[in-house]
Amino acid sequence: MKKCLALAVICLLVVGFAVVAPAQETKLVLATGGTAGTYYPFGGAMARIWNTKVAAMNVTVQATGASAENVRLVNRKEAELAIVQSDTVDFAFNATEAFKEKLENLRAIAVLYPEIIQLVAGGDSPIKSFADLKGLKVGVGAPGSGTEANFRQLLDVYGMKREDVNAQYLSFAESAEQFKDNHIDAFIVVAGIPNSAIMDVGTVRNLKLLSIDVQKIDMLDDKYPFLSPAKIPANTYKGQTEDVSTVAVNAVLIVNAEIKDDVVYNLTKSLFENQAELATAHAKGKELDVAKASTGVSIPFHPGAARFYKEKGVMK
């Protein structure tokens, strides 16, 4: 009798623990970019929403070398999520440019916002266009980054070779510091506007943003379909009194293909349901648009994200 009673007590305890046991926490790493870029703070704003709005979710933001590093991290599942440029993820998935093998474990969650190619030179320098960068020291982004690829695309349409420019392979923050100290003549940033690195430079040096010639914009649009015409509105940066004509890629949220459908569905759903909060936390959140989030990227969408877009009627 005593044995039976003891057994019953143990069973009740086990059932009790099962009832009160919390849901198993889902831990994910979000790869972003350098701390001076847009990806890192924007990623932090998204992670705060997921961690507070999705039950048992724990997303950690990681600073990285941006797009090229991020696609490799996600493909190897060293990070489950990442923000990347739409052109870089295309290169990675199809094994073009710097990618020698296909990274096929990548899936899209959402197009987040356009990333503008921004060419920065000294306000008092004689540099007027990209063609004037011949023979000069130019910060072109981290080695193998999406920014560096965009730099090479500009070289292409302007009929220039790599050796025509003294390329300095620097992150946005490094370019800003080198530019402030007059160690480089110009630099390129591919990011949402306004960009913190460029704003930082504008506090200590006069600067100007270079427009891309209309003919060259048309050539870029034709040859590189992931690029599209864009404008940097006047007064985006200190001393910028006119609109600047340029091109843009898209910032895309990607995920490893093996992440469970329900997890990705909940991430996608909470991101859009809390878009107002995201916009308050970071200016780029205002540009998140469910009607545009499922277009403008060449890789397949994760089934969990696709399920949300089908519910919203923006994907078949």
What confidence tens digit (pLDDT) does each residue in 20-34 have? 445 699 999 999 998
Q: Are strands 26-31 and 57-62 parallel, antiparallel or unpaired?
A: parallel
The residue extents of the domains of the chain are: 27-113+251-311, 115-249
Task: Identify the DSSP state of 247.
Answer: E
What is the token pair recorded at 47? 């992670």
Which alpha helices (DSSP H) does the chain contain, by range? Answer: 2-20, 39-53, 67-75, 86-94, 146-157, 172-180, 196-202, 214-223, 261-273, 275-281, 303-311
pLDDT at residue 2 greater than cutoff 60:
no
Listed in sequence order, the residues at least 6 apart from 28 whose beta carbon sits closer than 8 Å to its beta carbon are 57, 58, 59, 60, 80, 81, 259, 263
pLDDT, mean over the chain = 91
pTM of the model: 0.75
Give per-residue pLDDT as tens, 101-117.
999 999 999 999 988 99
Q: Which residue has the tokens 């460029």?
A: 198
Superfamily in which the 27-113+251-311 domain is placed by CATH: Periplasmic binding protein-like II (3.40.190.10)
d(CA 31, CA 266) in angstroms, rounded, equals 19
Fold observed for domain 115-249: D-Maltodextrin-Binding Protein; domain 2 (3.40.190)
- Render the burial of 223-250: b for 16+ CB within 10 Å, e for the rest: ebebbeebebeeebbeebeeebbbbbbb
Span 233-287, pLDDT tens digits: 999 999 999 999 999 999 999 999 999 999 999 999 999 999 999 999 998 999 9
Q: Is 201 exposed, middle or buried (0-12, 13-18, 19+ CB in 10 A)?
A: buried
Residue 19 reports pLDDT greater than 80: no
Q: What is the Cα–Cα distance from 297 to 85, expressed in whole angstroms?
A: 9
CATH topology identical between 27-113+251-311 and 115-249 = yes
Q: Tokens at residue 301, please?
A: 């969408």
- 201-238 pLDDT, tens digit per residue, is 999 999 999 999 999 999 998 888 788 889 999 999 99
